[in-house]
């Protein structure tokens, strides 16, 4: 793992909404090496969308500060 903390509004116990703005997923993580993390997604489209296959693009950028 990264050795870091999950950034708000994300958590281990609840889903949070993704936005089109930059969002931190992890803070105070260890630098270097092969740091791994995982992400769970939950799609709740509601009844306004017809049945079908949908896709979404999410871009992750790893930075060291």
Q: Given this model, what pLDDT does residue 37 score?
A: 86
Q: Given this model, what pLDDT does residue 47 score?
A: 80
Instruction: Give residues with Cβ within 8 angstroms of 25, minimum separation 6.
Output: 6, 7, 10, 37, 39, 60
C-beta atoms surrounding 25 within 10 Å: 15
Domain span holding position 30: 1-47+54-65
- Give me the number of domains the chain comprises: 1
Q: Given this model, what pLDDT does residue 6 score?
A: 92
Residue of 9 and 62 predicted with greater confidence:
9
Report the relative pairing of strands 26-27 and 5-6 from DSSP bridges.
antiparallel
Per-residue model confidence as pLDDT tens digits over 28-50: 888 878 888 888 888 887 788 88
64 pLDDT exceeds 80?
no
Q: Given this model, what pLDDT does residue 13 score?
A: 92
């Amino acid at each position: 793992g990264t050795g870091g903390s999950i950034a708000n509004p994300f958590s281990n116990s609840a889903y949070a909404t993704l936005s089109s703005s930059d969002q931190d997923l992890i803070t105070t993580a260890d630098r270097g090496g092969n740091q791994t993390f995982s992400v769970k997604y939950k799609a709740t489209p509601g009844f306004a969308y017809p049945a079908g296959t949908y896709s979404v693009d999410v871009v992750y950028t790893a930075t060291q500060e």
